């Protein structure tokens, strides 16, 4: 949907819903194994929770700022929230239909039955009684509330509760659904078919014993979402961001932003709940019997049936690094490219471990956006400190939802002697880089890694990312300057090769796009090909519109949302966009410019979003060695030709799949890339 308040720009929050609908399409795809379809429902639900906590929260908060400032921002937040809720309601109806009409019957075909308390047999009731008394009862915290006496009620963020009503009483009750070590589901101890129930249904079954003196008339599941911290400066320039923050200085953090409730709840109780929780009508979201579908990430597979999940892909051994005894020798010879999840993250871990134990290494510097829990990487850094090396760790203290863990690890590193630097106000460090200094034959040499994904071995198994090991003096010298900026020793890092936000990335991308426009005007072939997570920056989008109008062929792959509309006559008819949603989460960023046949390619951590160009420390590297260039371009070409999991992104917003033409090879890019890398690295 084009946003009339901007010049041919789609509203990012509305288009994000279009992205989440593509996730729902994967849950709807019967070609996917049933447990993978369940995971896509879990991803959809998890995405939506964060969306309400962050994006919808922001719109709701902006409603509270002065009208004069809202006009400057060209915002109509109430209208946007209503549009969002309409679309979310439609998607949730589709979600429910997929779950009940497709997933549940498919599980039953495989002898897995998801049952509720009304289905329990006498034997199962006895088993439930025993499990409840041993594992659940002591964790319940029922709260009796008198709506006539209590004006405000507080319930925890993202916690599931039962709202219980009683016959002949003005009192109601809230009962938490505790998810401890046993998780959300219980599998019955039976032979033959498998029977699974929600912990919720065990509590529902035992509710009469919780309120033995009352006659229960209704039990309805509810879940509250509360605001996350407001990240206004992600979207607006500094001056406007300051004004918005000043305007909202008195707001209450963590205020309610959405209540999911069982749609069977009587309307009079819906109204009372809304009033006592301090919600508006638009904050009430009807749902089904259960909430928190993100728990289906851990739905049990009691028979361990391999047909119900994707076949495991064995990590591809890197041709040079797999048998290398000395990564420094290997990388000094030529740049090395690794790809996750097709290859193991252990190559990154082994390099840091080698550096930590190498007597010739004097310094290790690394930037963390999201610090994993105890890992091989953190263990090696602590070992490096023990071995007397200078270790500098930059930690992004404001990585959304990971703040506490990041700071905890920062303190651990500090206690062991590392130089720990935390993020600056209004500037996030999103780059995924490390730097190693080593003395060889009396000379100090630098080694570096530049990637598109976080330093996290677990997420590397599901995120599609690329990483470059290099000893190139042109790259490592400039990366050293990036760390000097982080350490406060430099204000601006001079760079002729790297693109470093917020210093030269916008400037250099602008030059590269304008250059293609000039070539097109000269009648030469002109092309821009790019892959990213999201496209939002108005200046870049307007440049791409201008490029299209000048005859530049613009081909984009955008996994998430885009504020650019492709295929509009006379505006963007030379722009074609697809989005790939598949087994793994596409996360790499690659930018390719035709440059009169002398192609230029960059890859790294930055999307074409204002925050990534102007308000974050990002690093993108030029691809300088031919073998690396060819490998990345081959991978990009495979993705451009995906005709199984790619959806067309245009003004129709229908998420139509790209279909193979008659006689054309079927290309599912993630599997094709796996086969390509397997052949290339085992040849």
Active site residues: 430
Query: Which uninterrupted H or E stretch holds 58?
Result: helix 57-62
| Cis, bond preceding 502 (omega within 30 deg of 0) | yes
State both tokens at 137. Answer: 């009862």
Q: Which residues contact 625 (CB under 8 A, 6 or more apart)?
A: 334, 335, 472
d(CA 638, CA 640): 5
Q: How many Cα atoms sit within 13 Å of 270 on the Cβ side? A: 17
Whether the CB-CB separation of 578 and 667 falls below 8 Å is answered with: no
SS3 of 395, please?
A: strand
State both tokens at 674. Answer: 């796996």
Q: Which spans in 177-303 are helix H?
A: 199-210, 238-247, 267-277
User: For the chain, how far is it from start to end, CA to CA, in angstroms?
Assistant: 48
- The verdict on whether residue 643 carries a ligand-binding annotation is no
What does the chain come to in residues? 683
3-state secondary structure 612-624: HHHCEEEEEEECC
CB count within 10 Å of CB 171 equals: 15
Whether the CB-CB separation of 285 and 260 falls below 8 Å is answered with: yes
* Pick from 243, 237, 238, 239: nearest CA to 62: 243
Whether the CB-CB separation of 316 and 342 falls below 8 Å is answered with: yes
Strand runs (DSSP E) across 462-552, as ranges? Answer: 463-470, 499-501, 527-532
Q: Which residues contact 321 (CB under 8 A, 6 or more apart)?
A: 327, 330, 336, 338, 347, 350, 469
State both tokens at 240. Answer: 């406007």
Q: Is the dihedral of CA 669, 671, 672, 674 positive or negative?
A: positive
* Pick from 528, 541, 639, 628: nearest CA to 586: 639
d(CA 453, CA 417): 27
Whether the CB-CB separation of 468 and 656 falls below 8 Å is answered with: no
Whether the CB-CB separation of 432 and 398 falls below 8 Å is answered with: no
SS3 of 63, please?
A: coil
- The verdict on whether residue 602 carries a ligand-binding annotation is no
d(CA 574, CA 529): 12
- The verdict on whether residue 51 carries a ligand-binding annotation is no
DSSP assignment letter at 564: B
- The verdict on whether residue 587 carries a ligand-binding annotation is yes
- The verdict on whether residue 370 carries a ligand-binding annotation is yes
3-state secondary structure 295-338: HHHHCCCCCCCHHHCCCCCCCCCCCCCCCCCCHHHHHHHCCEEE
* Pick from 478, 468, 514: nearest CA to 499: 478
Query: Which uninterrupted H or E stretch holds 51?
Result: helix 34-51
d(CA 83, CA 88): 9
Q: What is the DSSP string of 651-666?
A: TT---PBP-PPTTPPP
Strand runs (DSSP E) across 82-159, as ranges? Answer: 112-115, 143-146
Structure-token match 């691809």, residue found: 623
Query: Which uninterrupted H or E stretch holds 419?
Result: strand 419-422
DSSP assignment letter at 139: G
- The verdict on whether residue 319 carries a ligand-binding annotation is no
Annotated binding site: 47, 370, 400, 463, 559, 587
Annotated binding site for Mg(2+): 370, 400
Annotated binding site for ATP: 47, 463, 559, 587
């Amino acid at each position: 949907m084009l946003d009339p308040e901007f010049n041919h720009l789609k509203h990012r929050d509305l288009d994000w819903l279009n992205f989440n609908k593509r996730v729902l399409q994967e849950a709807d795809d019967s070609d996917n194994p049933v447990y993978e379809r369940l995971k896509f429902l879990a991803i959809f639900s998890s995405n939506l929770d964060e969306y309400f906590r962050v994006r919808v929260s922001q719109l709701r908060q902006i409603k509270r700022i002065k009208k004069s400032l809202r006009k400057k921002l060209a915002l109509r937040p109430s209208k946007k929230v209503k549009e969002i809720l309409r679309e979310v309601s439609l998607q949730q109806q589709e979600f429910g239909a997929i779950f009940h009409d497709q997933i549940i019957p498919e599980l039953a075909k495989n002898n897995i039955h998801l049952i509720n308390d009304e289905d329990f047999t006498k034997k199962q009731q006895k088993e439930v009684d025993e499990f409840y008394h041993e594992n659940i009862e002591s964790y319940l915290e029922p709260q009796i509330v008198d709506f006539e006496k209590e004006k405000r009620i507080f319930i925890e963020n993202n916690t599931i509760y039962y709202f219980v009503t009683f016959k002949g009483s003005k009192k109601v009750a809230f009962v938490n659904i505790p998810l401890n070590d046993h998780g959300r589901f219980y599998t019955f101890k039976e032979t033959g078919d498998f029977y699974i129930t929600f912990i919720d249904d065990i509590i529902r079954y035992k509710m009469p014993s919780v309120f033995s003196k009352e006659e229960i008339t209704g039990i309805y599941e509810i879940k509250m979402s509360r605001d996350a911290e407001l990240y206004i400066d992600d979207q607006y320039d500094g001056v406007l961001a300051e004004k918005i923050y000043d305007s909202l200085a008195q707001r209450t953090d963590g205020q309610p932003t959405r209540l999911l409730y069982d749609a069977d709840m009587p309307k009079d109780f819906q109204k009372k709940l809304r009033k006592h929780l301090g919600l508006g009508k638009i904050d009430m979201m009807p749902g089904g019997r259960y909430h928190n579908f993100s728990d289906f990430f851990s739905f049990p597979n009691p028979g361990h049936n391999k047909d119900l999940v994707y076949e495991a892909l064995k990590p591809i051994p890197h041709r040079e690094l797999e048998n290398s005894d000395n990564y420094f020798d290997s990388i000094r010879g030529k740049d090395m490219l690794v790809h996750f999840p097709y290859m193991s993250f252990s190559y990154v871990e082994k390099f840091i471990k080698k550096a930590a134990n190498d007597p010739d290494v004097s310094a290790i510097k690394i930037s963390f956006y999201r610090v994993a829990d105890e890992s091989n990487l953190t263990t090696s850094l602590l070992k490096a400190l023990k071995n007397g090396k200078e270790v500098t760790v930059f930690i992004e203290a404001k990585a959304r939802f990971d703040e506490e863990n990041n700071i905890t690890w920062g303190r651990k590193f500090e206690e062991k002697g590392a130089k720990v630097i935390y993020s600056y106000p209004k500037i996030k460090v999103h780059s995924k880089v490390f730097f190693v200094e080593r003395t060889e034959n009396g000379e100090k040499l630098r080694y570096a890694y530049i990637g598109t994904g976080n330093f996290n071995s677990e997420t590397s198994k599901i995120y599609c990312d690329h990483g470059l090991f290099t000893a190139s003096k042109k790259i490592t010298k400039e990366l050293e300057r990036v760390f000097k900026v982080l350490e406060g020793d430099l204000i601006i890092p001079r760079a002729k090769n790297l693109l470093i936000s917020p210093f030269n990335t916008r400037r250099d991308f602008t030059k590269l796009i304008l250059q293609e426009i000039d070539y097109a005007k000269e009648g030469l072939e002109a092309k821009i090909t790019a892959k990213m997570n999201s496209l939002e920056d108005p200046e870049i989008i307007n440049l791409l519109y201008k490029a299209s109008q000048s005859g530049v062929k613009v081909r984009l792959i955008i996994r998430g949302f885009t504020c650019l509309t492709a295929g509009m006559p006379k505006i963007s008819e030379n722009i074609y966009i697809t989005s790939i949603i598949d087994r793994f989460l596409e996360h790499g960023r690659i930018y390719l410019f035709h440059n009169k046949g002398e192609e230029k390619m960059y890859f790294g951590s930055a999307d074409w979003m204002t925050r990534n160009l102007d308000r974050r420390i990002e690093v993108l590297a030029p691809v300088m060695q031919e073998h690396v260039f060819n490998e990345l371009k081959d991978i990009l070409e495979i993705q451009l030709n995906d005709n199984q999991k790619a959806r067309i992104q245009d003004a129709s917003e229908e998420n139509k799949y790209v279909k193979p033409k008659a006689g054309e090879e079927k290309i599912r890019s993630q599997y094709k890339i796996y086969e390509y890398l397997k052949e290339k690295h085992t040849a």
